[in-house]
């Protein structure tokens, strides 16, 4: 158990809908990362937040947005969902100190868009 | 643009054999990470390599880093079925991002 929690574990929704995925980082970690993993795209970095502020952006679609709250938990919002958005969504956290940015991954949310 | 290339992408091997997975990257970095992922599961950190010449070992797995060659290797000794998984390397961009390899799917047959 990495100490990173994600909810829900599974989500099934229809095209055009909007969903919110939630992540709580490990205690003491200030950085939260979001990743998308689908069979044909591998592991894709979406976005990173550090202590409430956006720090880095990857291949995140405009239909997707995220935020990190004062208690450091983070939410990833996916809107106007398409079939191609079906994937595993991982959250990871890191402490960002001591010379390493080692990331600890949550169990993931499996999103199925029908 | 930083590229991280793993090879092979797929490896099927017999128990008891040795093999090496390679991770090449295209720009300067002296920090590299190896992760393991079982099917449908999360990623688990295996090794953190923080300097040139770093070598880490855990059981039948050994990872090393050559920053001058921009190469990391993950060596498997006397493979067992339980090591079947997908292995990812990730290179630290030194700007808060990790750049990930495509992963090596390892199948170990009895």
Give per-residue pLDDT as tens, A18-33. Answer: 999 999 999 989 999 9
- Whether residue A26 lies within 8 A of chain B, CB to CB, comes out as no
- Whether residue B51 lies within 8 A of chain A, CB to CB, comes out as no
For Cα atoms B15, B20, B25, give the angle at the middle one, nearest 5 degrees.
150
- Whether residue A103 lies within 8 A of chain B, CB to CB, comes out as yes
Q: Spell out the residues 6+ positions from residue B85 whose beta carbon is closer than 8 angstroms to its own.
A: B36, B37, B38, B39, B106
Give per-residue pLDDT as tens, A5-16. Answer: 999 999 999 999
Whose CA is closest to A45, among A104, A91, A86?
Answer: A91
- Interchain CB distance below 8 Å, A103 and B98: yes
Whose CA is closest to B34, among B85, B79, B72, B78?
Answer: B72
Give per-residue pLDDT as tens, A88-108. Answer: 999 999 887 656 678 999 999
| Residue A85: strand, helix, or coil | helix
């Amino acid at each position: 158990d990495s100490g990173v929690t994600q909810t829900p574990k599974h989500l099934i929704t229809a095209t055009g809908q909007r969903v919110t995925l939630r992540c709580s980082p490990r205690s003491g970690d200030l950085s939260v990362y979001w990743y998308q993993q689908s069979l044909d795209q591998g592991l894709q970095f979406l976005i990173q937040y550090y202590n409430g502020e956006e720090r880095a952006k990857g291949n995140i679609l405009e239909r997707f947005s995220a935020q990190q709250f004062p208690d450091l938990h983070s939410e990833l919002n996916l809107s106007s969902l398409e079939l191609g958005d079906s994937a595993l969504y991982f959250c990871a956290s890191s402490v960002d100190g001591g010379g390493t940015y080692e990331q600890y991954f949550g169990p993931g949310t499996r999103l199925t868009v029908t | 643009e930083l590229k991280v290339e793993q090879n092979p992408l797929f490896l099927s091997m017999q128990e008891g054999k040795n093999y090496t997975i390679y991770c090449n990257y295209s720009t300067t970095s002296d920090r590299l990470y190896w992760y393991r992922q079982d099917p449908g599961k999360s990623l688990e950190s295996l090794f953190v390599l923080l300097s040139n010449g770093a070598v880490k070992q855990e059981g039948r797995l050994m990872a090393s880093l050559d920053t001058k060659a921009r190469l990391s290797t993950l060596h498997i000794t006397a493979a067992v079925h339980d090591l079947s998984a997908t292995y990812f390397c990730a290179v630290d961009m030194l700007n808060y991002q990790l750049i990930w390899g495509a992963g090596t799917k390892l199948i170990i047959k009895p």
